[in-house]
Structure 1
Amino acid sequence: MAAHIPSAGSVKIACIQMEPHVGDVAGNRAAAARFIEAAARQGARLIVLPELCNSGYVFRSREEALALAEDIPAGPTCLEWSALARRLEVYIVAGIAEREGTVLYNTAVVIGPDGYIGKYRKLHLWNEENIYFTPGNLGVPVFDMPFGRVGVAVCYDGWFPEVYRLGALQGADLICVPTNWVPMPDQPPGQHPMAVTLTMASAHSNALFIACADRVGVERDQAFIGRSVIVNCGGWPVAGPASQDNEAIIYADLDLSEARSKRRLNEFNQLLSDRRGDVYGDYEALTK
């Protein structure tokens, strides 16, 4: 945890639900810029975009993925987002295909008015992502912003409660989630998608705000489910879930200081200090 913890406070968050197109990096950047501009006009200070929103998602080969990936922070997408963040005085968390030499990562960058802040590399790869990407190696970093401490997860990371818990233990108030959610089998009609249910549960059990920006559309026969959502630190949606089909921007005005105060549930119970490390033991040892 950083030595200095900023005072959490009110901030307007926007989650951009858009439809990137695989291979069209310039077009995807232009579309993202239009959405970022629109969100900033509505007063958003922190703007979250989907996973791999610069490149698209469904690659035909690792060679195609490598050709569409960029260096961070020197690549053209990061440079454009940095210029936008500086001009609009906003913070941006967005998914990008990262190239480091010949190694590829499914990454989310964090950019502010003063430029590049840092990045998160997706820890848990979904399905054919395992062909193209290397699992993340940066842990779960948490970044100081003027309105609070912000962590990042990407899509399938949300199926692992440890990711959100590590963020909370490092003092995160909010986790931003660029995502490309796909349909889950056996989803009952009329119910929230499992991704939304998991987000609500993780927000509640860690007293974290969570902001998920999903994509829409069908790409090379793969459908995406939309349903972008912003959940408060009690676990309840305060914006969204958005449509499953349409591009949109959802907004929420959040007081991030509540994430710290609401971890205490009553006189006796605090979500993080009540953890029984003496009983849980070493998770790794249990799997051997």
Structure 2
Amino acid sequence: MTEFILAGVQLRPRIGDIAGNIERSSKWITKAAEAGARLVVLPEASSAGYVFADRAEALRYAEDIPGGPACSAWAALAQKHQLWIVAGVTEREGGRPYNSAVLIGPDGHVGTFRKAHLWNDEKAIYGRNEAGFPVFDTPLGRIGVGICYDAWFPETFRSAALQGADLIVLPSNWVPVPGQPADVPAMANLMCMTGAHSNQSYVAGVSRVGVERGQEFVGRSVIVGPDGWILAGPASNDGEELLLAEIDLIGSREARHGNPFNQPLADRRPDLYVTRDARCAQNGRRD
């Protein structure tokens, strides 16, 4: 039996309140474990909040990985409950902060992902991802990671899928999209659904709620199946809550990749895809 319960925890972190955020997230992780979850996903920036004034403030609240206070607390819970956790954390390395997500298992820290596509003021605050999109092989299946704005780039999902990712988790701090009609799904939900469908992978987009220094966050966390349809959620736009979905990363591989009608990964035409530099070279210019 390879099925398990995936839990998404929609939180309301508070900026600079590391102890409070650890306490709050720990309670929800415990609640998820009591519901039978084996993988728990927390939002982006769950350790220390998000709307930092500048790099110096972000660095003040950042922590070393894996030995920082939030990662250590989460690792203790992962060991106690024999589960895996993906959580957004403000990382410190080499005197620089990073907007990161950690994967922690029952035996401790498994890996770290740094946000690839920096949004708005993040460009001035955080260091850059220079390592790409790793996929972590776990007993639950192969897990890829992105963070929030990364979902706006199809390369995020495709990079993970081409490495065999069964699940792509997206700790997020989704904000309102200008012009969003009230009667259609949140743009972030559509991105998750499209990424799942186009790459035959499960997707878990887990966001936060609340207002921080004037910035509103919209919640709407979702767990999406590899067919692109939502399995759990969307969550509310203003409340902390727990999403649960039974998924099967390993046992679903044959069905996901063996569709007789269409196989978005197998049917690709890389021979027709060109990079910007190659296109410019074909056109005899470099612009």
TM-score (norm 2): 0.94
- Tell me how far apart the structure 1 counterparts of residues 151 and 25 of structure 2 sit (CA, whole Å): 24
Report the equivalent of 2:182. Answer: 189
Pick the aligned partner of 1:261 from 255, 266, 274.
255
Matched, 1:141 2:131: no
Q: Per-residue deviation at 1:125?
A: 0.6
Q: Per-residue deviation at 1:283?
A: 4.4
- Tell me how far apart the structure 1 counterparts of residues 69 and 86 of structure 2 sit (CA, whole Å): 16
- Tell me how far apart the structure 2 counterparts of residues 221 and 259 of structure 1 sit (CA, whole Å): 44
Where do residues 224-243 of structure 1 align in structure 2 (5 Å cutoff)? 224-243=217-236
Question: Does the 8 Å CA contact 1:158/1:164 hold for their aligned counterparts?
Answer: yes
Matched, 1:271 2:264: yes
- Tell me how far apart the structure 1 counterparts of residues 75 and 260 of structure 2 sit (CA, whole Å): 43
Question: Does the 8 Å CA contact 1:109/1:120 hold for their aligned counterparts?
Answer: yes
Root-mean-square deviation (CA, aligned residues, Å) is 1.4
Question: Does the 8 Å CA contact 1:173/1:260 hold for their aligned counterparts?
Answer: no
| Deviations 1:101-139 (CA, angstroms, capped at 9, x unpaired) | 222211000000011100111000111111110221221
Matched, 1:61 2:54: yes
- Tell me how far apart the structure 1 counterparts of residues 254 and 157 of structure 2 sit (CA, whole Å): 14
Matched, 1:77 2:70: yes
Q: SS of the counterpart of 1:186?
A: coil
TM-score (norm 1): 0.94
74-83 or 37-46, which moves further after superposition?
Answer: 74-83
Q: SS of the counterpart of 1:84?
A: helix
Report the equivalent of 1:115. Answer: 108
Structure 1: segments with no counterpart, 5+ residues: 1-7
Structure 2: segments with no counterpart, 5+ residues: 281-286
What is the count of residue pairs matched by the alignment?
280
Where do residues 16-27 of structure 1 align in structure 2 (5 Å cutoff)? 16-27=9-20
Compared CA separation, residues 81 and 185, structure 1 to 2 (3 A):
same
| Deviations 1:123-176 (CA, angstroms, capped at 9, x unpaired) | 001111111102212211111111211111100000000110011111110011
The letter of the residue matching 2:269 is: R
Question: Does the 8 Å CA contact 1:97/1:105 hold for their aligned counterparts?
Answer: yes
Question: Does the 8 Å CA contact 1:265/1:271 hold for their aligned counterparts?
Answer: no
Q: Per-residue deviation at 1:284?
A: 4.6
